[in-house]
Structure 1
Amino acid sequence: MGDVLGWRKLLGVIAPSTNTVVQPDMERMRPEGVTNHFSRIFVEDPVALSNEDFIAGTTAIAENTMDAVRSVMTCRPDYLVLGMSAITFYGGVQGSVDFKRKVETAAGVGASTGAESIAAALKAYGNVRTVSFVSPYYPVANAEVRRFLEESGFEVVRDVPLQCRRWTDIAKVTPERLREVIDHLDGPEVDAVVQVGTNLSMVDLAAEQEAARSKPVVAINTATYWHALRACGIEDRIEGLGRLLAEH
């Protein structure tokens, strides 16, 4: 007898305890027969005033991730969706692979990370060579995202670190501000615009801007949940949240 509600798949979703965007975002993307089971990585909400502060905050997330993984595994999910992004980019492609392997070893099931999901999404669109990206991070973390993207075969044209002072401030960045940033990031030499930082609300805005600009605009929460669904063999096409879920 399978799970009555999650008769297709049970997904464990991991995100920082300060994150208020991942859970509602991923609930909206959930097909019938798939259920999400949220586990929070305990982290304080300190003020970040420098690159060093930001790295310290993300290090705390990394150190506490395995506790959240062990907690969610008690409901026996089939697969994990990692709704934190900065630490999945650190150390380039090999660092991303090593972090994913650590999580999967602890869990005993597969997992989708933000970094690998962004790269896979860009490749799924096809003909994407140059990208620009926005993050809520500080410049030191943007450098890690740039490194990962370049090692994955993409040229980074521009990037914007919003330098949000608190983790909870990330969810307060408005669509109006993000439209301004996308205007700056885009251009005829840019094949795709990417957003990283899972507490930055951009699922709807990315779909809007993608339609308006006739090029991929990829929100990390969309990419990560899409990657998890496809990794689990769930090929449902979901309308209204951008081309990635609707077409790929």
Structure 2
Amino acid sequence: MTTIGFIYPDHAAEDDYPRMEQVLGGDVRLAVEHIYGTDLHAIAELLDLGSPEKLAEGSRKLGPHEPASVVWACTSGSFVYGWLGATHQVEGVAEASGVPASSTSFAFVHAARALGCSRVSVAASYPDEVATLFKQFLADGGIEVVRFSSAGIDTAAEVGQLSPDAVVELATANDHPDADAVLIPDTAMRTIELVDRMEQELGKPVLTANQVTVWEGLRIAGIQRSVSGCGALFAPAR
């Protein structure tokens, strides 16, 4: 049994992780530990949420699980630091946990590259001021954003209450014909059970925060897993 550890902020959509654990099968365990702060999608609050002290606390909580890797499961709480700051973030988590580490923001870049997607649409839940920083983060990672939208939702709790139909609508309404994939940031959004549905409607890969976070945790632990039920990123080779 291999355990992948996730530092998850507050509470909103962490039930996506046991769902994904079921999709992956019985030999991978996804361990989630929480850190706490305000769930407001605002720059100052997000900088506090992703602070070294809080991430070190999350790393300590995951210690008893003996994870093979650790991921900071928060998009906005990582990209708000910029590329260099987010790099320092994961270096701190790796030092505190003693295993390879990453974050959801880097997971989006790595997942897009893995699928050969260099031009994307972004359907963000955040206010524009915050969402724009994700667009910049992707650009720093060599990913061109050809369509960009921000839904202006102020808190993670509100995002966690979105209906499945609302999540699918967010994706389908914000696609672009030149986009290789549609990216939906925010680990507060439940998406694991919706990825296949969104891909079928759009006819292209859809990358969502909790989906890419799990994939990244497996990747940096040296695990490759192909399964049906969670989109092109996990799809078995044909």
Please report the TM-score for the alignment, with normalisation by the length of structure 2: 0.88
CA change 1:68–1:188 in 2 (3 A) is same
Partner SS, residue 33 of structure 2: strand
How many Å separate the matches in 2 of 1:191 and 1:72? 36
- How many Å apart are 1:103 and its aligned residue? 1.1
Who wins on radius of gyration, i.e. which is larger?
1
How many Å separate the matches in 2 of 1:165 and 1:129? 29
CA-atom RMSD, angstroms? 2.0
CA change 1:147–1:33 in 2 (3 A) is same
- How many Å apart are 1:25 and its aligned residue? 4.2
Partner SS, residue 121 of structure 2: strand
How many Å separate the matches in 2 of 1:160 and 1:80? 30
| Structure 2 stretches lacking a partner, 5+ long | none
- Provide the residue aligned with 1:97 in structure 2: 87
Is residue 79 from structure 1 mapped to residue 69 from structure 2 by the alignment?
yes
Is residue 62 from structure 1 mapped to residue 59 from structure 2 by the alignment?
no
How many Å separate the matches in 1 of 2:67 and 2:167? 34
How many Å separate the matches in 2 of 1:167 and 1:70? 24
Give the partner amino acid of 1:62.
G
Asked whether the equivalents of residues 10 and 36 of structure 1 are also in contact (C-alpha less than 8 Å), the reply is yes
| Structure 1 stretches lacking a partner, 5+ long | 1-5
1:129-152, CA deviations, whole angstroms, 9 ceiling, x for partnerless residues? 321112222212211101111111
Q: After the TM superposition, which residues 1-248 of structure 1 pair with which residues of structure 2 at under 5 Å, given as runs?
A: 6=1, 9-21=2-14, 22-45=16-39, 48=40, 54-63=42-51, 64-126=54-116, 128-247=117-236
How many Å separate the matches in 2 of 1:154 and 1:212? 23
Give the partner amino acid of 1:163.
G
Runs of 4+ in structure 1 displaced over 4 angstroms? none
Stretch moving more, 15-24 or 219-228: 15-24
Identity %, equivalent residues = 26
Partner SS, residue 153 of structure 1: coil
Partner SS, residue 37 of structure 1: strand
CA change 1:210–1:57 in 2 (3 A) is same
How many Å separate the matches in 2 of 1:236 and 1:129? 23
Asked whether the equivalents of residues 100 and 221 of structure 2 are also in contact (C-alpha less than 8 Å), the reply is no
Asked whether the equivalents of residues 126 and 154 of structure 2 are also in contact (C-alpha less than 8 Å), the reply is no
Please report the TM-score for the alignment, with normalisation by the length of structure 1: 0.85
Asked whether the equivalents of residues 131 and 154 of structure 1 are also in contact (C-alpha less than 8 Å), the reply is yes
Partner SS, residue 90 of structure 2: helix
How many Å separate the matches in 2 of 1:244 and 1:125? 7
CA change 1:75–1:240 in 2 (3 A) is closer
Instruction: State the aligned residue count.
Output: 234
Asked whether the equivalents of residues 239 and 245 of structure 1 are also in contact (C-alpha less than 8 Å), the reply is yes
1:47-93, CA deviations, whole angstroms, 9 ceiling, x for partnerless residues? x5xxxx61233123113222121121133222113221112212432
